[in-house]
């Protein structure tokens, strides 16, 4: 029986600058300042609370601060209601606070306000 080696397809080597990303298709992600940063900086480990969480989120937001695609990232996270991590300089709690007022503004005045279950 003859054995053959698996051959990978040829990879094109690009010389010169990369073409501009199509930000409407989600290619904006390759331009993010977070691209070469450990993802654990942007996502909370289980059980992280208090000062530890606040410090990690502050470091993540500093990475986002000067990001060239901060707006696209933030809009994406808000549009899909991303529940986890720091996106577009906003933590999970920041996004919840941002979305909550908008949702209450859209509620018709004649509907009762539901109280949270405790």
**Tens digits of residue pLDDT in 52-108:** 999 999 999 999 999 999 999 999 999 999 999 999 999 999 999 887 665 555 555
- By residue range, what is the domain housing residue 28? 23-105
- Does residue 60 sit within a domain? yes
Instruction: State how many domains the chain has.
Output: 1
pTM exceeds cut of 0.85: no
Q: Which residues contact 107 (CB under 8 A, 6 or more apart)?
A: 113
The HSE-up count of residue 60 (CA atoms within 13 Å, CB side) is 21
């Amino acid at each position: 029986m003859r054995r053959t080696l698996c051959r990978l397809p040829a990879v094109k080597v690009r010389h010169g600058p990369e073409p501009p990303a199509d930000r409407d298709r989600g290619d904006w992600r390759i331009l993010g300042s977070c691209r070469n940063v450990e993802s654990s900086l942007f996502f909370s480990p289980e059980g992280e609370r208090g000062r530890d969480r606040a410090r990690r989120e502050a470091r993540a937001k500093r990475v986002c601060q000067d990001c060239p695609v901060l707006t696209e990232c933030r809009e994406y996270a808000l549009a899909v209601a991303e529940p986890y991590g720091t996106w577009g300089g906003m933590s999970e709690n920041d996004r919840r606070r941002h979305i909550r007022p908008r949702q209450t503004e859209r509620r018709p005045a004649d509907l009762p306000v539901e109280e949270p279950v405790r």
